[in-house]
Amino acid sequence: MTESSTNREQDATIAAHWREEALIEPPAVFVRQANANSVDIYERMSEDKFPGCFDEYARLLDWSRPWERTLDDDRPPFFRWFVGGELNASYNCIDRHLEGAGDKVAFHFVPEREDEPARSLTYADLYREVNELAAVLREDFGLKRGDRVTLYLPMTLELPIVMLACARLGVIHSAVFSGYSGQACADRINDSQSRVLITMDAYYRGGKLLDHNVKAEEAARLSDDCLEHCLVFRRHAGEYHSEAPMQAPRDRFADELLAERRGAEVAPEPMRSEDTLFLMYTSGTTGKPKGAQHSTGGYLTWATATSKYVLDLKPGDVYWCMADIGWITGHSYIVYGPLALGVTSVLFEGAPTVPDAGRPWRIVEQYGVEVFHTSPTAVRALRKADPDLPKQYNLKFRSMTTVGEPIEPEVWHWYRDAIGGGEAVITDTWWQTETGGHLITTLPGVTPMKPGSAGPALPGIYPVIYDEEGSPVQPGQRRAGNICIRNPWPGRMLTIWGDDERFVRTYYERYNRDPESRDWRDWPYLAGDGAIQSEDGYYRILGRIDDVINVAGHRLGTKELESACLTVEAVSEAAVVAVHDPVKGVLPEAYVSLKPGYAAETVGADVVGRIVEMIGPIARPRRVWVVEDVPKTRSGKIMRRVLSALSEGRDTGDVSTLANPEVVETIRRRIADETGG
């Protein structure tokens, strides 16, 4: 039996211990007003109508040139959608709303500090600011379609403005989460060969004004010759809150350049549907992050249609997605989807529990937020802070969404009762950076909810669970397998930036029936998650089957963490495993062994420091165990499964076939001694 199948069996056992929850119908008042409130939508998107059924979604957008072919599947798995069509994402998110809704607020920007005034930006303001910035990017930096720009920006209005300015010019943006280290940012600048880095001097997070430009400066210093300029926004007009000196001529203040472009207008560049809109880096099973390369027409179609039917957004809504725009959730469900639908959103700079766990609810009351979107981690943190607190506020949510990890039924019920007043619909959406938007979720006005299960597949999406041998696992068998999507869909990434071969290998090779086949039916997409399907067709997602750790909804590659450990001089071997945590869901724990002649002394602290420096504080391990040796198979493969069982005090199963079974007992005793277990 392979290591991964043993893992999954364990997952399956865990899953089977979960009580199968009953279905919960959405309230009638919700159904009446929902954008999708009839099973018709599943019929309109039935498999015999594929791929033409997706034209309906593409028509939610304005195209400057209509498409000629819905799906070009001549060269699987490099599918292209709405071919022949031309459109501009910035036009669809801004210009088309100006007539009639120019005065409507696009974003209410709420700073972390409660004493700093909020700022509401209308669609007309957004138009002006995006155009002026597009003029700077084009005139001052000579950026043109196809060029890459890395955005290293916090959750302030500048981030969506910069994204849309890039989209206006056909420049490919690559946003890097602001919590990442300078080095992680540099890796992404170099991989994408970005010409410009756009950043900010500082921002507020966790009650502090963080110096951000020191990290951006490090990123610029470590980047290849590709980087020509840094454009630096200032968090407070006219002030500069960074220790890093601006370096002429490389670094320029955004406000100074924008002052020269007041009132500038830049015509939206007509982009081909299959042209790249952005890159979003995500962790893989090797140390090198992969740039998910998303298209303009297919991606925007998917983000818009799912915002409409899953989030149930209407033009009159005030909506708040608490994710960070530096991740895919923010791209699809703060920026592109909601703006394409002309919705008003809250954009919040801060952390949800600063200065206290009532902060989100004060914001919700102030702006009358009705549709709310967050992660299970945030829900768990709010629940831990004070389970009764939300009841003190006047919350009237119609719809609440989660994403990023499985949500435990207990947490689900608290979310619905304490925050949703027992009335809101809860939508648990399963998808990935690579998929562009939701794939498995209930349609809140059509399909009933089921705590702990993401739901059935969306209309037009046809999943299958395969076992190790490639046979489909039938629903209701209580057996887990690898979840795959049988058919192409518009939101899927085009490829991995610069690495078509890795794209095919990672997502398609495993279950491909014939590498020469030109039939999409032979190319199921491997998501990399384990899943179980119950008899009623609902999917329960069990987590990653590969070596990716999902911390608080952030994906970290085991290999990335291990390679950071190995940069500590004393460390000879490192294994990083995921351990369950009541708040974060999962946290990394590191096992390192030392080179001969080195003492353990500061190694634990050095490893933590190095991980934080190279990846960022989100990757901070819960513990570092300095051990003599790590358990390995005879072929030298580190048995992370055994280590994670040890970390969690579980049974390791049979270890007699390992190359070094004795180390298991040694480590177990160490852990018991040090944790008093």
CB nearer ligand WTA, residue 390 or residue 530: 530
The stretch among 188-196, 377-385, 537-545, 625-633 that binds ligand WTA (CB under 6 A) is 537-545
Find the shortest distance in angstroms from Cβ 518 to ligand WTA: 28
Question: Least Å distance between CB 251 and ligand WTA?
Answer: 31
Among 162-170, 322-330, 408-416, 456-464, the segment contacting ligand WTA (CB under 6 A):
322-330
What interhelical angle do 603-614 and 182-192 show, nearest 10? 40
Cα distances from 524 to residues 205, 455, 506, 557, in angstroms, run 42, 20, 12, 23
Task: For the CB of residue 374, give the shortest distance to ligand WTA in the complex, in Å.
Answer: 12
Nearer to ligand WTA, 317 or 529 (CB): 529
**By the rule CB under 6 A, 322 interacts with ligand WTA:** no
Choose the binding region for ligand WTA from 184-192, 270-278, 429-437, 639-647 (rule: CB under 6 A). Answer: 429-437
Residue span binding ligand WTA (CB under 6 A) among the ranges 64-72, 99-107, 408-416, 423-431 = 423-431
Options 25-33, 378-386, 430-438, 601-609: segment touching ligand WTA (CB under 6 A): 430-438
Of the candidate residues 147, 274, 428, 547, the single one contacting ligand WTA (CB under 6 A): 428
Where residue 440 falls (left for φ over 0; alpha for ψ -120 to 50; beta otherwise) is beta
- In the complex, the smallest distance separating the C-beta of residue 537 from ligand WTA, rounded to whole angstroms, is 16
What are the residues whose beta carbons fall under 8 Å from the beta carbon of 334, sequence distance 6 or more?
Answer: 160, 321, 323, 325, 345, 347
* Residue 452, CA distances (Å) to 120, 206, 406, 527 in order: 37, 30, 7, 19
The least CB distance from residue 402 to ligand WTA, in Å, is: 6
Helices (H), 193-248: 213-221
Q: Which stretch binds ligand WTA (CB under 6 A): 183-191, 417-425, 491-499, 542-550?
A: 542-550
Q: How far is residue 298's CA from residue 71's CA, in Å, rounded to a whole number?
A: 10
Nearer to ligand WTA, 405 or 547 (CB): 405
Question: Contact with ligand WTA (CB under 6 A): which of 95, 251, 317, 529?
Answer: 529
Placement of tokens 């529990």 in the chain: 353
Question: What are the residues whose beta carbons fall under 8 Å from the beta carbon of 52, sequence distance 6 or more?
Answer: 70
Place of tokens 């190359």: 659
Burial readout 273-292 (b: 16 or more C-beta within 10 A, e: otherwise): bbbbbbbbbbbbbebbbbbb
User: Residues 446-476, buried b or exposed e (16+ Cβ, 10 A)?
Assistant: bbbbbbbbbbbbbbbbbbbbbeeeeeebebe
Q: Does 552 bind ligand WTA (CB under 6 A)?
A: no
Q: How far is CA 238 from CA 235, 514, 589, in A?
A: 9, 61, 43
DSSP code string of 480-493: -EEEEE-S--TTS-
Q: Which of 156, 282, 374, 377 binds ligand WTA (CB under 6 A)?
A: 282
Closest CB to ligand WTA among 170 and 528? 528
Q: Which of 148, 544, 559, 640 binds ligand WTA (CB under 6 A)?
A: 544
For the segment 454-483, give every residue that binds ligand WTA (CB under 6 A).
Answer: 454
Sole binder of ligand WTA in the list 179, 289, 360, 404 (CB under 6 A): 404
Stretch that binds ligand WTA, among 300-308, 397-405, 443-451, 510-518 (CB under 6 A): 397-405
| Paired strand residues for 172 | 148
Contact map string, positions 130 to 159, toward ligand WTA, x by CB under 6 A: ------------------------------
488 or 491: CB nearest ligand WTA:
491
Q: Tell me whether residue 480 or residue 541 sits nearer to ligand WTA (CB atom).
A: 541
List 543, 557, 588, 621, residue binding ligand WTA (CB under 6 A)? 543
Q: Of 341, 333, 328, nearest to 294 (Cα)? A: 328
In Å, how far from its chain's centre is CA 36?
25
Residue 204 tokens read as 């507020």
Q: How far is the CB of 480 from ligand WTA (least distance, A)?
A: 13
Indicate the residue among 313 and 328 with the shorter CB distance to ligand WTA.
328
Shortest Cβ contact with ligand WTA: which residue? Answer: 433
Of 429, 495, 533, 558, the one binding ligand WTA by CB under 6 A: 429
Q: How far apart are CA 153 and CA 235, in angstroms?
A: 11
* Count helices and strands in the chain by DSSP H and E runs: 22, 30
Binding pattern to ligand WTA, positions 80-99, x when CB under 6 A? --------------------
- Nearer residue to ligand WTA within complex by CB, 261 or 331: 331
- Considering beta carbons, is residue 195 or 555 the nearer one to ligand WTA? 555
**Best CA proximity match to 486, nearest among 506, 501, 454, 508:** 508
Please report, as a single letter, which amino acid is at residue 541: I
Q: Is 430 in the site for ligand WTA (CB under 6 A)?
A: yes
Contact assessment for residue 171 and residue 149, using Cβ atoms and an 8 Å cutoff: yes
Member of 273, 432, 495, 512 binding ligand WTA (CB under 6 A): 432
Cis? peptide before 463, omega within 30° of 0: no
Residue in 45, 176, 197, 403 binding ligand WTA, rule: CB under 6 A = 403
Contact yes or no for 303/336 (Cβ under 8 A): yes
Phi, psi (deg, nearest 5) at residue 371: -120, 125
Count interface residues toward ligand WTA (CB under 6 A).
23
The answer to the question of residue 289 lying near ligand WTA (CB under 6 A) is no
Which of 156/329 has CB closer to ligand WTA?
Answer: 329
Could you list the residues that contact ligand WTA (CB under 6 A)?
282, 327-329, 403-406, 428-433, 454, 527-529, 541, 543-544, 550, 555
